[in-house]
Structure 1
Amino acid sequence: MQKPELLLPVGNPESFYAALRGGADAIFLGLKQFNARGRAKNFTNGQLGTILKEAKKKNILVYITLNTVIKNNEIPELLDYLNFLNQVGVNGVIIQDWGVFYIARTYFPNLVLHASTQMAIHNSTGANYAHKKGIERVVLARELTLHELSKICKKSKVETEVFIHGALCYSFSGMCLYSSYAGGRGANRGLCTQPCRRTYTAQNTHQYLFNLKDNQQIDLVNRFAKMGVNSLKVEGRMKSGEYTYRVAQAYRTALDEPNQIEKAKELLSLDFGREKTAYFMGKDVNKAISEKTVAGVFLGKVEQIKGQNIWLSSQMTIEPGFRLRFHIPGTEKQETVKVREVAEENGLFKIHSGGKQVKPNSEVYLAGISDVKFPSKLEDTTAHFKQLNYGNKQKILSALKGRENGRNEEFYFRVNSMEWLKKMNLNEMEGLFLAFSKITWSRFDPEVPFIQKFREKIYIELPKFIQQDALQFYRELIAKMVKCGLRNFVVSHISQLDLIPPKCRIIANENVYVFNDAAACFIKNEGVSLFSYPQEIDFETLFSLSHKDGIVPVYFHPELFHSRMPIAMKDGNDELLDDMNIKLQRFRRNGITSIVPQVPVSISQSKNKLKNNGFHRFLIDLSYEPVSKHRAKTVKSRILRSEQIQPSNTFNFNKGLK
């Protein structure tokens, strides 16, 4: 049995040295651009040279995160970045965007590529597709069960990596649109504002509905090793060196001394994170949501304040050097105070507030103890590498360009209920996407005369998440449809191409992200007939694309959260309100929870602008609309006249995606 690699997060110089000292086999880090932890300190190109030099001395591998989607106008900068990474000797590049993959594989073939968890690979079909494309390793979705992970390891040829510790996102990674919707700061751009950590109003009660505890898989380390998992990954590039060191020591102990698990757990008790869950791996999802957003070890509360002095109760002796985090009662505000001096008075600990605005009855958490220190600076050396020739860069950019295409307007519709079929006039559309649940597909008869009459216009849409044991269901569904003459399909993940037989017409939907010309090139080269642009795209990025033959989503309710995790709401009470007064609706289908805004996104008033910029294919998504005889016709007529639909909003189209 080969021991898995222990992969540690590095977001600042302290955590780099902590990972080295703590026992990392490999580290992952981001530079100043194109990484999913845009709020971390990250590193300069010159500092990377120092990191590579120091890591090599200890035989530690270095992986670079390039795990965001790339806007089209960023492609020239991306080329310079890949050219730099290609020369400095990194051991792997972790990517999300298939456009990045296409450029790297075509023009920088020596780069070793890893598929980020942002690529949402969650079954053996996805893993094997990545392997077929030349990706060396896949970082699997955090939502897998132990049974599913075991099957994926057995059925796939690619290296596998799993998260074993750290923060969890409520939504599937790569599928969360909430932060983007609420303020244009996209999770897929590394700028998530963590809406899952906020309170929501449901059934007249303020609740933490999506606030997940931290992931901890210390009990399963040996099981992962026996399954053949290649790398065990710790989340936390926003965390301190102290966190990195303690977590590294704990999992190093678990890997090297399997009989010392209790010792490892004791080390983790002071990781200063949130409450812990083993999540789907440990079958404890019912207890995975926390009522607390504060990270740290709970100590006690503030009993008294006089001037700048604070008296607090604590279940642990307070010592100089402790970092204490105060959770202000009745709010989500927190204040952090470093203890300089401490005195015991009448069973309480007296400290100075350091000028921080702490309130009586604030809960007190231990956020750090500073018992181990690491260097806080890294030498920023001059990075010597050969610049990409201007002519070569222009040649690459030219090769990514799309061609002019037809201008006749085409309309596509999406529905998620068979009830809609009775209301739709298929003579007035180019295609109808059927996004049905497994139960609905089980009742669907492809041989009824209506379906057969319009079989050239009907598309079978596959879901975003297909669990490992459901792959056979969808293989059989596809085979049945093809046998009955329905050969049009819509894929929600590019790997789903491997489920579909030859000589079928395939459209890639909005979840197969196309933010740049390179992604469009890749998808077309895979044999996809058409692609859809992402729901969170903005006009600036859309209009910068030379591939204008895709389908623009012009009317839809975006799935802000798309999660395997259920939430504690009574059936029949599905309405929510967030802290920005956005009205939301919960839907639960196929074991997936979707949170969507009640008000649709519509850019119907911009149809003429879209057409003037070369776009002529439009998607109207009625999945979250009440079934209505006239709705499809009304929405289409408004779009044809380039008229606004109210109530609605324009998502990022006008305000921009940061």
Structure 2
Amino acid sequence: MVELLAPAGNPEALEAAIAEGADAVYLGLKSFNARMRSSNFAWNQFEATVDVLHKRNKKIYVTVNTVVTEDEMERLYRFLTYLNNVGPDGIIVQDLGLIQMAHKYFPQLKLHASTQLNIASAKAANTMSRWGISRTVLARELSLEEIRDVHANTSCELEVFVHGALCVSESGLCLFSSYLGGKSANRGMCTQACRRLYTAHEPEGDREGYFFSPADLQLIEYIPDLIQAGVASFKIEGRMKSAEYVGTVVSAYRYVIDNWEADKKAAVETGKRILANDFARKKTSYRFKSTRAEEVLNPDQAGGTGIYLGIIDGIKKGDVQEVPYKDGTRAVHYVQLKDGHYTPEKGDSVRIHKKDDSGRESWKIQDIIESKSGAWLQLPADSGKGDSVYLLQTKAMTKRYPHLLPASLEKYRRQPNDEALPMLTLEAGFPTLGDTNKAAPSKSASATPAGAALPAKSAAAASSTPVKKSLAKKPADIFPEGLYVQVSSIADLHTILADKPVRVIINLNEDTYPALSGQQSKQQVKPLPFPKREIFISLDPFVPQEQEPILTEQLEQLTAQGYTQFIVNNPAHISMLRNKKNFLVAGPYLYTFNCWAVSWLQDNGICAYIPPAESSQANIETVFAPELRPQVLLPLFSYSVLFRMRFTLPKSYNFLYFSDKQGEAFRAFSTPSASFVLSDKPFSVVDRYHALQHHQFSRFLLDFSHTTVERRAYRFILQSLRSGTPLPDSVRFNWKEGFYDPQRVEELKQLGQKPAADRKAKPSSSRARKSGHAPSNRTNRTEKGQQRGNRKR
């Protein structure tokens, strides 16, 4: 029987989901989940929910689907111990280190691979299945035929998103929000930067649009096909949505699941009529219907949800007052709207969209004053003229669902065990507990075995040295010290010969494969300027099922040609290349944010590591202690890929570049199979080269992926590296500040300092480019590497 899985962002949404027929719910707690901005459940609410749902034969899954930094591993262990004791039906995970920890200590916990793990093929699913993953939440970028093919080639249960908000980026590969302020999607802090208003800059002039705000997913008409394709669970997105929204969507999909065999057409039509009341964005079936970008993107549609009510045109002067709000009060005033075609009523829920696109807020209207000039709506006092207002839900839609949780939660614990954690050490290459607790803790066991007191410093810190030493390997001769350069074309290999690096990395793509594999035509044949021993081949992080057999064949050809060094960025790559005497480097998309992830990768045949693009220097140096640093290829320069899309952008996106309200500039380009958005300014810490050598790093990377290497710019970067001079017009990304930390922000504010994440971005400077020294990256590429709109500013 197929499972209908609903979101529960709070107890009210939980009640709506169960009342309308969900078989299971997924929810987050106060830590380690990808919706840290939603209400989430208190510990006692969660424990009561497990009891109540299990008595009703319903299932509950907990989201632990973020990456975890090294200094959080102790807290993560406590958290997993707590979950193991409470007993949910599964946990949804992203971090490879978490998988390693759970596999070793908590085999009772059922692990589900989050869509953030970017599992889009059977080989990727099978790789994870070997490590205790019982269910895979497939990437949302797959077609029906691909899902059917994945099921036919894996024994892993498949879960598929069928309804709700889409990420414009390929699953788990978005760095946009993190780049703009450290609020990473991989940390549950996404600010939905893709849904903002941007300005496109073209030779003909500027124009504004919501260029990357995707439509919402709706696959209700394909439910019968997905059931027949072997999908085990249908997942509804929406942990930040209202209870009424959850109830409406669950009821629609419940009806189709229960009635399609009797009359498929009638069941689907009924489901669609129910969904007409979800007040969401324009709908798409994504790749189930079309591979065109227009199926997903509409630049003229604002990124918010709801029915447009108008813009604020008038504000009642001198009538600001305080009303009860959450645990305190909120200042409100009265406003009038214009341009709308519907007047809301008292009790309706609306969303206020700031004029400058700086934020959005949901609000329930508590008062309306009627006058001859029209209705005055009571809205928060920080709403102002020009702000847009959207109707999210009418009072008439509000349903009261039976309460599920008991009135008193006194018998439930209020937080995970805070007793001391056993020493975490590494023995024989595996993270294991100290001698006092060799076995995995049972559900009834305390988080702390007898006699295992935690030292004054944290267990993670205390165990740092043995962990790193046991992972350290002597670097292979094939991975020498020095400078590595990564490029996207064969032509760029010839350019960098001017100052030859010790090794080159070339991205495998439509242009480079024929040259690497020797399958060029006679007219195209030109010897590669580097021997195969000096070439690493970097593999694309997104491996859809459609491309899996093609990539498998290409890699077989390349290894037969004598290539043995590969940068792997997806679990599927591990399945394709391990056990073949290859030297495998974990690329930045395998997210080595902690040494437990390093351990998992080493157990899967990985020999070296490129740290994640959004990691900080502090975390990199904590994960990769001096003993491990000979295995690290440290990026010093790159144009950050902020997000990637599985479609080619239409001609209307042929702008030179686009920018946000703060003047931060970006560029977009397409290949035959995907599109990319990159930062206009390069990430650079080339001036830290000598200091990092003193920190015992010895292998460094200059990454020119997705841009053309210009000889003058290349030499300028090398000159800056050798002289220790900062590159002009470059950024540090999260190198210094790391991820956004609300607690740290509050501490800085109390000290009268402004946190880096709150600082306004400065408009891109053209000074350095005019001098001809700094690298220019404002080019749009299209199919086969041909340039489109390649004028540079």
- In the superposition, the TM-score normalised over structure 1's length comes to 0.91
Amino acid of the residue matched to residue 286 of structure 1? E
SS at match of 2:12: helix
Amino acid of the residue matched to residue 535 of structure 2? I
1:364: Cα distance to partner?
4.9
* Structure 1 match to 2:700: 618
* Structure 1 match to 2:278: 271
1:400 aligns with 2:467: yes
* Structure 2 match to 1:424: 496
Which of 620, 628, 640 is the aligned partner of 1:542? 620
Distance in 2 (CA, whole Å) between partners of 1:84 and 1:90 is 10
Contact 1:335 1:358 in 2 (8 A): no
SS at match of 1:530: strand
1:372 aligns with 2:439: no
1:481 aligns with 2:562: no
Amino acid of the residue matched to residue 683 of structure 2? V
Contact 1:325 1:335 in 2 (8 A): yes
**Per-residue deviation, residues 378-410 of structure 1 (Å, max 9, x unmatched):** 736216987776444456453633456779843
Distance in 2 (CA, whole Å) between partners of 1:579 and 1:405 is 48
Amino acid of the residue matched to residue 588 of structure 2? E
1:586 aligns with 2:668: yes
Structure 1 pair 45–340 and aligned structure 2 pair: CA distance change class (3 A): closer
Which of 573, 577, 581 is the aligned partner of 2:659? 577
**Per-residue deviation, residues 146-197 of structure 1 (Å, max 9, x unmatched):** 2211211222211111111111111122111111111111111111111101
* Structure 2 match to 1:103: 101
* Structure 1 match to 2:547: 470
Matches within 5 A, 1:212-611: 212-258=214-260, 259-283=266-290, 285-290=293-298, 291-298=301-308, 308=334, 310=336, 318-327=344-353, 338-340=364-366, 350=375, 352-354=377-379, 356=381, 364-370=389-395, 371-374=398-401, 379=409, 381-382=412-413, 390-393=421-424, 396=433, 398=463, 400-402=467-469, 409-425=481-497, 428-446=500-518, 450-451=527-528, 454-500=531-577, 502-545=580-623, 546=625, 547-548=628-629, 549-570=631-652, 573-611=655-693
Contact 1:426 1:454 in 2 (8 A): no
Distance in 1 (CA, whole Å) between partners of 2:79 and 2:359 is 38
1:10: Cα distance to partner?
1.1
Structure 1 pair 393–332 and aligned structure 2 pair: CA distance change class (3 A): closer
Distance in 2 (CA, whole Å) between partners of 1:85 and 1:585 is 43
1:451: Cα distance to partner?
4.1
**Per-residue deviation, residues 74-102 of structure 1 (Å, max 9, x unmatched):** 11111111111111111111111111111
Distance in 2 (CA, whole Å) between partners of 1:343 and 1:646 is 56
* Worse-superposed segment, 84-93 or 335-344: 335-344
Distance in 2 (CA, whole Å) between partners of 1:210 and 1:427 is 39
Structure 1 pair 298–393 and aligned structure 2 pair: CA distance change class (3 A): same
Contact 2:78 2:421 in 1 (8 A): no
**Per-residue deviation, residues 297-322 of structure 1 (Å, max 9, x unmatched):** 34567787766374779766855422
Contact 2:649 2:670 in 1 (8 A): no
* Structure 1 match to 2:444: none
Percent pairwise identity: 30
Distance in 1 (CA, whole Å) between partners of 2:148 and 2:228 is 9
* Structure 2 match to 1:163: 161
**Per-residue deviation, residues 181-232 of structure 1 (Å, max 9, x unmatched):** 1111111111111110111211311111101111111111111111110111
Distance in 2 (CA, whole Å) between partners of 1:211 and 1:303 is 26
Distance in 1 (CA, whole Å) between partners of 2:377 and 2:486 is 61
Amino acid of the residue matched to residue 285 of structure 2? A
1:177 aligns with 2:179: no
Contact 1:446 1:481 in 2 (8 A): no
SS at match of 1:573: coil
Structure 1 pair 356–434 and aligned structure 2 pair: CA distance change class (3 A): same
Structure 1 pair 249–356 and aligned structure 2 pair: CA distance change class (3 A): farther
SS at match of 2:162: strand
Structure 1 pair 574–470 and aligned structure 2 pair: CA distance change class (3 A): farther
Structure 1 pair 386–365 and aligned structure 2 pair: CA distance change class (3 A): closer
Contact 1:167 1:214 in 2 (8 A): yes
Contact 1:250 1:268 in 2 (8 A): yes
Amino acid of the residue matched to residue 373 of structure 1? R
CA RMSD for the aligned pairs? 3.0
Distance in 2 (CA, whole Å) between partners of 1:452 and 1:638 is 25
- In the superposition, the TM-score normalised over structure 2's length comes to 0.77
SS at match of 1:229: coil
Contact 1:298 1:364 in 2 (8 A): yes
**Per-residue deviation, residues 46-101 of structure 1 (Å, max 9, x unmatched):** 22111101111211111111111100011111111111111111111111111111
Distance in 1 (CA, whole Å) between partners of 2:571 and 2:132 is 15
Which of 29, 32, 41 is the aligned partner of 2:30? 32
Amino acid of the residue matched to residue 382 of structure 1? R
Structure 1 pair 275–616 and aligned structure 2 pair: CA distance change class (3 A): same
Distance in 2 (CA, whole Å) between partners of 1:180 and 1:335 is 21
Amino acid of the residue matched to residue 188 of structure 1? N
Contact 1:301 1:312 in 2 (8 A): yes
SS at match of 1:627: coil
* Worse-superposed segment, 351-360 or 602-611: 351-360
1:503: Cα distance to partner?
1.3
Contact 2:74 2:421 in 1 (8 A): no
* Worse-superposed segment, 449-458 or 226-235: 449-458
Alignment: residue pair count:
655
* Structure 1 match to 2:47: 49
1:646: Cα distance to partner?
2.1
* Structure 1 match to 2:731: 649
1:626: Cα distance to partner?
2.8
SS at match of 1:243: helix
SS at match of 1:560: strand
* Structure 1 match to 2:131: 133
* Worse-superposed segment, 596-605 or 462-471: 462-471
Give the gaps of 5 or more residues in structure 2.
Answer: 261-265, 318-333, 426-431, 434-459, 520-524, 741-793
**Per-residue deviation, residues 126-153 of structure 1 (Å, max 9, x unmatched):** 1221222221011111111122112112
Amino acid of the residue matched to residue 638 of structure 2? F
Distance in 2 (CA, whole Å) between partners of 1:215 and 1:178 is 21
* Worse-superposed segment, 291-300 or 102-111: 291-300
Distance in 1 (CA, whole Å) between partners of 2:171 and 2:367 is 43
Contact 1:79 1:393 in 2 (8 A): no
Distance in 2 (CA, whole Å) between partners of 1:339 and 1:479 is 63
Structure 1 pair 621–488 and aligned structure 2 pair: CA distance change class (3 A): same
Structure 1 pair 435–75 and aligned structure 2 pair: CA distance change class (3 A): same
Contact 2:356 2:661 in 1 (8 A): no
SS at match of 1:489: strand
Contact 1:561 1:595 in 2 (8 A): yes
* Structure 2 match to 1:150: 148
Contact 1:270 1:297 in 2 (8 A): no
1:496: Cα distance to partner?
0.7
1:17: Cα distance to partner?
1.5
SS at match of 2:590: coil
Structure 1 pair 503–246 and aligned structure 2 pair: CA distance change class (3 A): same
Contact 2:34 2:186 in 1 (8 A): yes
Which of 211, 221, 246 is the aligned partner of 1:209? 211
